[in-house]
Structures are given as C-alpha cells and as structure tokens.
Chain A
Amino acid sequence: GENVEQHPSTLSVQEGDSAVIKCTYSDSASNYFPWYKQELGKRPQLIIDIRSNVGEKKDQRIAVTLNKTAKHFSLHITETQPEDSAVYFCAASIVGNQFYFGTGTSLTVIP
C-alpha cells in the first residue's frame, strides 16, 4: 500500500517568516495530494490540494508543489501569522480510494 512520510514533525518560525513542510509518497499511482490543517480537538480542514497533472498551485499565502518523478510534494506558507499555528497533515490518494496521511507537522508561529 501507500506509504507517506512527512518532515519535519515540529516547526517553529517567527511571525512573518515562511514555513515549508515536505512529504514523500511511495505509490506512483497516487494522483491526488491534499493538505489539511488541524487545530486541537477539531476536524482536519482542507487548506489546499494538488493533482498529479499539475506541478504547482497557489492560494494567497499558501502554495503546494509536486514532483511526480521524485514522488514528493511540499507545502509552503509565506508571511506566517500566529493563527497559522496548528498541526498540518499531507495525504496521498488515488481518486475514489483510500487516503493515506503523513505523520503530521506541528507548526508554531512565534509572535
């Protein structure tokens, strides 16, 4: 089955700096890669996603890049704010099938 690895497990940045979280996956058939933000005790919320036919996607301060050849994708958050502090999960999926999640990154933005 799919194996998704995520790094780093914890990340602290100063407010205004950028944060980068990286994930790798093992199944070349995976074609959908979402990123979720989860606040303590709450459900994960989709923040951005990318499909295998696209190399990069951006939504305001958030961007995701995908390298299919190397089987890795990354989340980039620019101009970080304290409210960005949360746990972020990457996932890999074949559309219509199971989602496999990374181990999560606890992001702390220091005011």
Chain B
Amino acid sequence: GAVVSQHPSWVICKSGTSVKIECRSLDFQATTMFWYRQFPKQSLMLMATSNEGSKATYEQGVEKDKFLINHASLTLSTLTVTSAHPEDSSFYICSASGHYTGELFFGEGSRLTVL
C-alpha cells in the first residue's frame, strides 16, 4: 500500500514554543491530507483537511490560529502547533487518501509533550 511518513515521531517542548510536524506521502501524490488528534484510549478526532495549494478546512472547535496547516506541495503537509501549552499534549496523526481508491493511509504519528 501507499506510504505516508510523519516526522518527528516524538517531541517534547516547553510551554509557549511552537512545534512543526511534517507529513509526507512517499509514493503517491496526495492532493488532500487529513490531520487527526488522538487522546489516550480515545478515537481519532479529525482536526482539519489539508488541501494542496489552498487553505485548510478546519473542523468545528479547532482553532485555526493555534494549529497552522500548510500544504505547499502534493507530497508534503505540515501542522504547526503554535504557542504550545500542556493541554496540547497529544498524539497527532496525519493521513492521506488515494483519490480514486478512497483508502486512507496513516503516518506513524507524532507524540507531542508540552512541559
């Protein structure tokens, strides 16, 4: 299946700093990528849909200025958690779907811990 790579897999930062997470589709072009957030023992919560060359579409309740998403190319989308606080600590997972098959492929996930 298609490969989606996410980096970093683990990041620890101080409160108030910004953290960037990268999501790459390695062997296919992803015009659309999705960003999810997952708390321990909970489901995947869709945060936003990242569209190549245009603004991301955010789900209700997700702060656009807090979670900046950039999808500058067909293979790369980035999520920047700005001015991170401890409550932002979570597991963030990106994914991309095969446009014609509809299958969803996930990155490895990034565990963010804000001290």
Contacts and interface: CB of A to CB of B under 8 A. Distances in A.
Interface string B81-115: 00000000001010101011111111111010000
A104 B43 contact: yes
Contact of A91 (B101, B104, B109): B104
Interface residues of B, number: 26
Which of B97, B101, B102, B111 gathers the greatest number of chain A CB atoms within 10 Å? B102
A89 B46 CA distance: 14
Interface residues of A, number: 24
Contacts, number: 57
A75 to B, nearest CB: 15
A46 B43 CA distance: 15
Contacts of A103: 42-43
Interface in A55-111: 87, 89, 91, 93, 95-96, 98-104, 106
Contact of B42 (A43, A44, A51, A104): A104
Nearest to A101: B44
A89 B43 CA distance: 8
B43 A96 contact: no
Given A46-B103, A96-B102, A101-B46, 17 more contacts: A34-B104, A42-B109, A43-B108, A45-B106, A46-B105, A89-B43, A91-B104, A95-B101, A96-B97, A98-B34, A99-B46, A99-B104, A101-B44, A102-B43, A103-B43, A104-B42, A106-B41
8 contacts: A34-B104, A41-B91, A46-B105, A49-B103, A93-B102, A99-B34, A102-B43, A103-B43
Interface of A: 32, 34, 41-46, 49, 51, 87, 89, 91, 93, 95-96, 98-104, 106
